[in-house]
Amino acid sequence: MKRLRRLGCLGVLLVLVGGCAAQVSALHQQLVGLSTLAEEDQETFDAGEGNGDGIPPRMLQAYRSAAGQAGKFAPGCRGMRWPILAGIARIESNHAAGRSVSESGDIRPKIYGPLLDGAGVGGNTTAHPDTDGGRWDGTARGERAVGPFQFIPATWASTAPAGHRDPHNADDAALAAVIYLCGRGRDLRSESQLEAALFQYNRSKVYVADVRRWIDQYSAGGGTGSTNLEGVKGKARTVLEAALSQRGVPYSWGGGDAKGKSTGSCCSPSGKSGASIVGFDCSGLTTYAFARAGISLPRTASAQSQRGNRLWTLKQMAPGDLVFFSYIPGQDSAIYHVGIYLGDGKMINAARPGTRVRIDPVASMSGFAGGARLW
């Protein structure tokens, strides 16, 4: 149920939907009715074949290859996708950042976590005695996690398949992660089973939520060349570069302004508060990006639709245009969401609570309502 706040003598209702405030008349609200869900309560779009923005090509190759071999090495496993592996590796090692990855997948320098001696480093309070004599983790004083997926040597020994026995090799490590996550025939298409697999990997609800956000981001934004700004000039390029620089910043209900990301407010239609989250909602992100090009925008998606020249089809749109989404076709007053068109059917998007600024297909949001060009 949407939360409504009366605006006194103005005679309109302020409906807070999908992260941006949009004014909708009482009549429009009746037309929308209870059958329309807030965008944040809809199923997250999952293209399943995202482009892997920000992932080193050799690491992305390892994730794709391992996911494709799930049937061979983890019979009965369903729903394994490379974005699941990428989400974990992003949290565990930032895709082996700062290391070189050879053509054969070997990672150098090797990646070692802190010594798990119970001293509390990294949140660990349980001592893990040595099991590998320092073979994989470089020390016989105890255990420490190794490789881009940060396996403890004891877990590695029981997980890695024959012929794939080096946790410091991208291909071997990704394949072992597939086997570990798949367990005894998990169906990772199920949200509950996916979260159970992630929780087994690291018994922390915060960890699970962080990995899920990255899985969502890598799953969306399908296709290739989604950040190619070749040929984009002037204010449009400034706007896009500003918005793209904020990828990965958390969604914050009511967050963001012309100066940048900020804490938001309470609360979204489903009760999510942005008061403790530094980030952007949809119109906060557009306000910030266009301010970098010297263009001032009002703070709500509906009001932003009244600026510039309106465009009504995706074919009319060019990189840097605003792109809108409405509950009622042809009614700008019912617009609930805004993004920045990137080209090739994609946009830069602060989608909903629990996500981060990312690249999404325009089709990932319902109710396409055209766009606007502000120059």
Structure tokens at 68: 């494709």
Q: Is 26 part of a structural domain of the chain?
A: no
Q: How many CB atoms lie within 10 A of CB 114?
A: 13
CATH number of the domain where residue 330 is located = 3.90.1720.10
The helix/strand/coil state of 3 is coil
Domain around 362: 41-46+228-373
Order of strands, sheet of 346-349, starting from the edge strand that comes earlier in the sequence: 309-311, 368-373, 322-326, 335-343, 346-349, 358-361
Whether 179 and 257 map to the same domain: the answer is no
In a domain, 129, yes or no: no
Overall residue count recorded for the chain in this entry: 375
- The rounded distance, in Å, linking the Cα atoms of 85 and 50 is 13
Please give the chain's pLDDT, 375 residues, in tens. 222 222 222 222 233 343 454 333 333 333 333 223 333 333 233 333 444 557 899 999 999 999 999 999 999 999 999 999 999 999 999 999 999 999 999 999 999 999 998 887 666 678 899 999 999 999 999 999 999 999 999 999 999 999 999 999 999 999 999 999 999 999 999 989 999 999 999 999 999 999 988 887 787 644 333 467 889 999 999 999 999 999 989 999 999 999 999 999 999 877 899 999 999 999 999 999 999 999 999 999 999 999 999 999 999 999 999 999 998 878 888 999 999 999 988 899 999 998 889 888 888 788 999 999 999
3-state secondary structure of 330: coil
**Is 166 domain-assigned?**
yes
First vs last C-alpha separation in the chain: 38
What domain count does the chain have? Answer: 2
| Cβ atoms 214, 81 nearer than 8 A | no
**Beta strand pairing call for 309-311 and 278-279:** unpaired
Q: Indicate the residue among 184, 219, 254 that finishes a domain.
A: 219
Q: Are residues 232 and 215 part of one domain? A: no
Same domain (yes/no): 68, 198: yes
Phi first, then psi, for residue 271 (nearest 5°) are 85, 15
